[in-house]
Amino acid sequence: MGDCVLLRQAPRAPTLPVLERSADPSSVRAHAGTPAAPAPVAPPPPPPDLAAAHDRLGASLYRFFYVRVSRDEHLAADLLQQLWAAAARNASRVPEAEIEFWLRGVARNLLNTHWRRVGSRPTHVAMEDSHTGAALAERMTRERLPADELERRQTQDRLLQAITRLPQADQDLIFAHYFEGAQQVDLSKRLGMSARAIEGRLYRARQLLRDALKESDE
Amino acid sequence: MNPHENDNPTPRHDEADALFDANLRAFGTKIGPLPAHAALRLAGTQAVAPRPARHPRWLAWGSAMAACIAAGAVIFSQPWGNRVEASTIIGGLRTKEFGGVNIVFDRVSSQGTTIDGVVRMRLKDPISIDRLDDPKAIDSNARLGAAYGKFTLTSDPIADGGEPSVIDAEGSLTPASGWMYVRASDGAARQMAEGNPMAGAVAGLAQHGVVLNIGSLDDRFFDGLNAMVCPASRQSSDLGGLHTSVERTADGHGKVSVGLRVPTPGSPSAEQFSRLIGYARMVLSGKARQNELEQMRSMLQNDFAQKATVQTLGAGRFLLTTNLPPPSEGASAVSGGMLRVLYEQSGGVRWAEFSGMPDTAGTIRVEFDSEPIDPSLLGYERLVNTGTTNYLDLRVIMRMFMPPLLRAW
């Protein structure tokens, strides 16, 4: 994996064209019933840059599937491929600023469709249970977990699922630092930030992860 | 100033966070890095930088194997319908490990020359098929355990009434030694002498049989092989629609490209063919998933294949036979051939066989075989007739006569 692939900053979202359209005075005249020339139709928003979205979100979307299908690499890859196929067909109407949310929603739908198609969710796939997630978050802040708890597959899956619900940048940071062994000094070089800023972002990511463990969005 | 400099400074003395941090670190150590999806290669220039192929021959054979497997898996997804999904087959094949391969040439004849023979390659450790796309997985001499080959090349006589030219060649390569035995018929020696006096001198030695020391499977051997196989400038050939180019990169490594001639752009079949090649690339690189496989299968069945049949052989064995349409104007070179694949439900593809290729008669079969090579074949002593068989150290000759790059051999 390329060093900088996971840690690339997400580009700033463009200004929403919806706001510009609502400020168009010609549309106000049309509402007032003036028999004037038809209001000029605002151009549709440009289609999202799927290639850029692929580069930016591909890793986290793959992880999203991977940790929810019992870490089956091939199945995760199949689902991801279906996701991009769906995006190629339908994403042209999605505003650029919403593409990440849209892709995550489609990913969830694909996952649910997959479980329906195969009959049921296998018992070895951890359910997203807010109660047990909250318990895990609580225990992780109170004590050092014993080795057998760290090795329990369901506990691991629950944690991984919570991480993959975080925003892209936060989960990239957590995976790079805790799972891939990148030190803070390495991260500061990659991201062009001070070590203190990295420390702050890691702190914030941990707080978000604790919240994510306590909640369940699915 | 970096806008992130002021991101939430870490509170000091947050004991709960420190414990959470420690537990998260412990989880990370237990779980380790998550696998990266192959598509990540698209995400950064560092990751997509092509790595020169150090050992083009091995890579080419690896790709050939992958092609056979992929083609077999794609087509086999059809007759089994709902019982077996393409992604399941591909998933199983990608992780299937094999320890060796045999490539059998059965009366393969083209342009007046016929080849009969076999190449057997064995790996030190089994390798999964999905790693064939990774040059690092197969370019090391630490990977190849042993190789043995035996060929007979027969060329038609130059003039009517003349005798055919026959060259018997046999050789083996192991980490300890490497040799090649060549014996040329009188006709072959004469033909070679007529073509090139220097080659004629070597052929004269080969009339009585000559053993060539070609070194062992080490870096020097592969560097020499690269230097010999890859010309200083790019060379390309176009034979029957198959385009091959060989070139040497700036750092002395070899690079081999193989492609198929695409029909004239704009013709009805050009788009179909381009799409098929696109799918084939995804299959070969292991990136194809169910959708692409379905599309590729559909194209093979409906657009390019005349007929595809599956014969049940019993005991979970199936034989696929598919005919590609005969050559027509604008068609590609893959037209007109036949592919047969033996598939076993217990072990996947056993072999794939190509025959009826355009401009080429005979059959090429790729077999997966992990059985060790008979040790008696790996020595040349049985081929030596004391007093008549010559022995040459090919590396010494290369150092004397060849360009500096080859002298390293």
Range among B36-40, B192-196, B271-275, B378-382 with highest mean pLDDT value: B378-382
Looking at the partner chain, which of A81, A150, A180 has a beta carbon nearest the beta carbon of B291?
A81
Query: Per-residue pLDDT for B221 more than 50?
Result: yes
The per-residue pLDDT for A163 is 92
pLDDT band at A205 (very low <50, low <70, confident <90, very high): very high
Question: Average pLDDT, stretch B302-313?
Answer: 58
Question: Average pLDDT, stretch A18-27?
Answer: 34
The per-residue pLDDT for B236 is 62
3-state secondary structure of B153: strand
Q: What would the two tokens of residue A196 be?
A: 């203190």
Question: Average pLDDT, stretch A95-102?
Answer: 84
Question: Average pLDDT, stretch A109-117?
Answer: 82
Looking at the partner chain, which of A66, A175, A197 has a beta carbon nearest the beta carbon of B7?
A197
Q: Do A54 and B36 touch (CB under 8 A)?
A: no
Q: Do A1 and B19 touch (CB under 8 A)?
A: no
Looking at the partner chain, which of A5, A77, A144 has a beta carbon nearest the beta carbon of B289?
A77
Range among B158-167, B179-188, B234-243, B293-302 with highest mean pLDDT value: B179-188
Residue B20 near residue A206 (C-beta atoms within 8 A): yes
The whole-angstrom separation of Cα B254 and Cα B55 is 7
User: How many A-B residue pairs are in contact by the CB < 8 A criterion?
Assistant: 155
The whole-angstrom separation of Cα B294 and Cα B290 is 6
The per-residue pLDDT for B115 is 84
The per-residue pLDDT for A112 is 85
| pLDDT tens per residue, range B285-296 | 445 555 655 665
Whether the CB of A199 is below 8 Å from some CB of chain B: the reply is yes
Looking at the partner chain, which of B38, B40, B291 has a beta carbon nearest the beta carbon of A5?
B40
| pLDDT tens per residue, range B91-104 | 444 555 677 888 88
Least confident span in A96-100, A182-186, B79-83, B93-97: B79-83
Q: How many helices (H) and strands (E) does chain A have?
A: 11, 0
Residue B147 vs residue B195, higher pLDDT: B147
| CA of residue A61 relative to chain centroid, distance | 7
DSSP state of B378: G
Mean pLDDT of chain B: 63
Range among A58-62, B8-12, B155-159, B262-266 with highest mean pLDDT value: A58-62
Residue A210 vs residue B267, higher pLDDT: A210
Least confident span in A41-50, A209-218, B33-42, B55-64: B55-64
Pick among A56, A82, A149, A150 to test the B interface (most B CBs inside 10 A): A150
CA proximity to A1, closest of A59, A54, A62, A52: A59
Chain B residue with the nearest C-alpha to that of A62? B37
Least confident span in A26-35, A88-97, B12-21: A26-35
Pick among A49, A179, A202, A209 to test the B interface (most B CBs inside 10 A): A179
Looking at the partner chain, which of A74, A82, A140 has a beta carbon nearest the beta carbon of B291?
A82
Looking at the partner chain, which of A58, A137, A151 has a beta carbon nearest the beta carbon of B37?
A58
The per-residue pLDDT for B20 is 92
Residue B129 vs residue B74, higher pLDDT: B129
pLDDT band at B184 (very low <50, low <70, confident <90, very high): confident
| pLDDT tens per residue, range B316-332 | 676 767 665 544 444 44
3-state secondary structure of B208: coil
Chain A residue with the nearest C-alpha to that of B17? A141
| CA of residue B148 relative to chain centroid, distance | 16
Contacts of B289 in chain A (CB under 8 A): 77-78, 80-82
Pick among B2, B27, B42 to test the A interface (most A CBs inside 10 A): B27
Query: Per-residue pLDDT for B229 more than 60?
Result: no
| pLDDT tens per residue, range B340-354 | 777 666 666 677 777
| pLDDT tens per residue, range A172-200 | 899 999 998 888 888 888 888 888 889 89
Residue B181 near residue B383 (C-beta atoms within 8 A): yes
Q: Do A78 and B11 touch (CB under 8 A)?
A: no
Whether the CB of A217 is below 8 Å from some CB of chain B: the reply is no
The per-residue pLDDT for B292 is 59
Q: Which residues pair with B308 in a beta bridge?
A: B322
| pLDDT tens per residue, range B272-287 | 555 655 555 555 444 5
Query: Per-residue pLDDT for A140 more than 50?
Result: yes
- In this structure, what are the phi and psi dihedrals at residue B353, rounded to the nearest 5 degrees? -130, 130
Looking at the partner chain, which of B25, B30, B290 has a beta carbon nearest the beta carbon of A78?
B290
CA proximity to A106, closest of A138, A84, A131: A84
Whether the CB of A66 is below 8 Å from some CB of chain B: the reply is yes
Whether the CB of A180 is below 8 Å from some CB of chain B: the reply is yes
Residue B324 vs residue B33, higher pLDDT: B33
pLDDT band at A131 (very low <50, low <70, confident <90, very high): low
Number of Cβ within 10 Å of residue B331's Cβ equals 20
Chain B residue with the nearest C-alpha to that of A83? B291
Contacts of A51 in chain B (CB under 8 A): 42
Helices (H), B96-248: 135-138, 186-195, 197-206, 219-229
Question: Average pLDDT, stretch A24-47?
Answer: 50
Query: Per-residue pLDDT for B150 more than 50?
Result: yes
Query: Per-residue pLDDT for B314 more than 60?
Result: yes
| CA of residue B63 relative to chain centroid, distance | 4
Range among A67-71, B7-11, B190-194, B385-389 with highest mean pLDDT value: A67-71
pLDDT band at B263 (very low <50, low <70, confident <90, very high): very low
Chain B residue with the nearest C-alpha to that of A175? B33
Residue A44 vs residue B269, higher pLDDT: A44
pLDDT band at B381 (very low <50, low <70, confident <90, very high): confident
User: Sheet holding B97-110: strands in order across?
Assistant: B307-314, B317-323, B338-344, B348-355, B361-368, B97-110, B113-128, B144-155, B165-173, B178-184, B210-213, B390-393
Question: Average pLDDT, stretch B16-30?
Answer: 91
Distance from CA of B54 to the nearest CA of A (A): 21
Contacts of A203 in chain B (CB under 8 A): 8, 10-11, 14, 17
The per-residue pLDDT for B25 is 92
Q: Do A194 and B31 touch (CB under 8 A)?
A: no
CA proximity to B85, closest of A80, A122, A118: A118
Whether the CB of A193 is below 8 Å from some CB of chain B: the reply is yes
Q: What would the two tokens of residue B135 be?
A: 């040059």
Instruction: Say what the ipTM of the complex is.
Output: 0.73
Chain B residue with the nearest C-alpha to that of A179? B28
The per-residue pLDDT for A73 is 77
Q: Do A196 and B37 touch (CB under 8 A)?
A: no
Whether the CB of A148 is below 8 Å from some CB of chain B: the reply is no
Question: Average pLDDT, stretch A108-133?
Answer: 67
The whole-angstrom separation of Cα B118 and Cα B366 is 10
Question: Average pLDDT, stretch B50-60?
Answer: 33
Q: Do B16 and A142 touch (CB under 8 A)?
A: yes
Q: Do A77 and B40 touch (CB under 8 A)?
A: no
Residue B314 vs residue A96, higher pLDDT: A96
Q: Which residues pair with B155 in a beta bridge?
A: B113, B165
Chain A residue with the nearest C-alpha to that of B49? A2
Residue B130 vs residue A130, higher pLDDT: B130
Looking at the partner chain, which of B20, B91, B95 has a beta carbon nearest the beta carbon of A140?
B20
